[in-house]
Structure 1
Amino acid sequence: MGFSAITLFGSFFILLLMNIPIAVALGLSSVITLIAFDVPMSIYSFTMYSATAKFTLLAIPFFILAGMIMERSGISKRLIDFANKAVGHLRGGLAIVAVITSCFFAAISGSGPATVAALGSILIPAMDDAGYDKGMASALVASAGAIGIIIPPSIAFVVYGVVAEVSIGKLFIAGIVPGLLFGLALIAASLIVSKNYQFKDVKVATARELWDAFKDALWGIMTPIIILGGIYGGIFTPTEAAGVAVFYGLFVGIFIYKELKIKELSKLLVDASISSAVVMLIVSSASVFAWIVTTQGIATNIAQAMIAFTTNKYVILLIINVILLIAGCFIDAISAYYILLPIFIPILNAIGVDLLHFGIIMTVNLAIGQFTPPVGVNLYVACGIGNISLSRISKAVIPFVVVSIIALILITYIPAITTFIPELLGM
């Protein structure tokens, strides 16, 4: 490894160990490396601007705002009520409800932490009251929230598509089956873990109650249909779809459910702006980091070293998965795309791995990172809602990590799980 790589990655990890925010750590390590190799600092501002001045990335603030609007509109509690009426009477039914509603809300928010925040405040107390261990309930909601970056529309897919130059529409459609597989794995684990719990009896909903709950939740259920149908029907682009999601959420919240007040919009806009600014700061800082990785030959050297070690595609994919699982424990998905994709893409091209398929592999890896300690953001959100310690939820989340890795292995080594719907649609 050259001196440039040691300078860049060494300073980055030292800053992380000092508990410096990741966006700042990425930026400072890039500045240190640019100064060390006498690169004009004008490169820094130019690269940051170029990275963010892209129409496609406008989808990020719009999807963030749409998720906040729909959370405040009362869609989440209606989705939970409908799922509870449908399967809540089954043994372990609330665990199934948690995963099903996470899949639905994921298709609205596109964000893991947003999904946990929207659903956890309702589901964790309900599961605790029904007889579930609170640590297990919090761990399940944190794990299920990670589906938010796998099921389309996904903010993570938008960033991956920009960095890897892959169609975001294809990524959205390719993420559906892997997202559902991920959810099924979590349901299986939750049913096994909770088999010895003593649950309160829940009466079976009547057909009328189920129908009424469905009608009440229909506006929320329609959201992903409108977004994805519009994209694949050629009506609007993914970025325009994010804007449509905002106006649809406002319409539902103000005029249909009437839970969103006009006076609340200013606060929602401020909150969405802050969240968007954090994401875009990471994008801009990470883009300079990625530029250095590429132009200093770091990516090429690492790729050549790995291919010299082995040319076996399956072994290389295993090594990459291990790297991503470890990286996901410490850095967020957006940073990981910018830091690691410049290194991985030459390797993937050399061994013939489709970048569409790899986009799902990488995103599932980083979704698992959202609920693995020490920096799993979903865990912290669930801890706050459940009022439990990180050590307690970290123990409870182990079964969900295990089944998620099994799902990851299937997605990695059976490409058809990812590609068969895009191929079926001729994409």
Structure 2
Amino acid sequence: MASFRFIHTADLHLDSPFIGISGLDDSLRSFVQDSTFRALDQLVRLAMDQQVDFIVISGDIYDSSNISLRAQLRFMEALERLGKEGIAVYAIHGNHDPLDSTKLSMTLPSHVHVFGGEPASVTAVRRSDREEVAVITGMSYPTSKVTDNIAIRYPAPTSGLYQIGLLHANVDGDPQHETYGPCSKKDLIHAGFHYWALGHIHSRRTLQESPYIVYPGNIQGRHVRETGPKGCYVVDVDEDFNTKLCFHELDSMRWNVVEAPIDSTQDVDAWRLSLERILTHTARENPEQLSMIRVRITGRSPVHRQLEGGYVLDELLADLRRREAAKGRMSGYRGCVWIESFTLQSGDAIDTERLLQEDSFAGDLLRLARQEQGRLHEPDGVAARSVEPLLEHAEIRSLLDDTSPEEMLDWLRRAEELTLGLLLRDRSQGEGAGA
């Protein structure tokens, strides 16, 4: 068999609305909302530059089952550009864009194959000489709720060609993602394929190398839980089926969480200057992207009391955003840093280690708080019981369902800090009055 090259991509989520990002002016909002389309353009350019033989897309081409006309037209434009270069495309649909999605009916070009709602196989060829090189097997989601193990329904390989399986699934039940198309790594290993081209999980992961079981992640991060570089894999297969993967970045907007400690600062202005140095470093690390960051304020010092009220951070945030927006309009937002939000995880100048050892009400409270932080996911824990009455309200329940474990832990830490601050200030005032 001849050597060949292909691209494995997934989770394009074209025309994602990016709901919840605040403070954007019209220009920046347009840049953010077009980011998935820019990543698609980068994908097409990469395919041409790397002279790949074909592309496989493992589901969630679109962001919603109510597919926008804009997203369809941009995807069709990308397909046409690939067709002119002789690059074939093999795709499945996932839970976000199942086959029963609402969309305008369009005739796909002949070089594009979209798998139907039952497992099926097609043969891929090298574009230079049309030699058969791979058998590609896949299945699209008929509806958004595919909760059975579809991987075990894939037909066993029958030819001597390289075998690629396209699958949109949650392998081994990742708790951070919905359990669609659930299967085990063992199921995939025993299926007889050389390469499982996975989609659905938005973080880049190689679960296995023999056979390859790979999540490329999504092509553009959409919120602060999708941090770091986003892109796709270029995969080279030689005559002996040896497989080599190379990751390529496609994103123009990159999410990250950065820490801005207050430990070594004694006033807000000193901390502000240290924050600006952190922002400059972030811009230098991502000179080609717009950096969307959440600033996590950590450490302990008297500065915490000045930040705690919120108005200082609100005014600082507005000023930093104003400056970056002006700079971005001149630079196309390359190398700009936009602060999505501040999260206050710092504390007053309290010796918590001493308190943990202290036989006092404050010490007991701190020990209890730390214990409950470790029981965050237990149904009889304080956190679970505290929010239980709120679950009776549909809107609040929906908000809580979207709350990550990290955000819940932040709430507990914040409650701990507020309570200790009030308690210790009261104790200090009481001791002062007694003197």
Which of 1 and 2 has higher RCO (CA within 8 Å, sep 6+)?
Answer: 1
Pairwise same-fold verdict (TM > 0.5)? no
TM-score class, shorter-chain normalisation, is: under 0.3
TM-score normalised by the chain length of structure 1: 0.22
TM score, norm. by length of structure 2: 0.22
Rg (Cα) greater in structure: 2
Greater helix proportion: 1
- Structure (1/2) with the larger strand percentage: 2
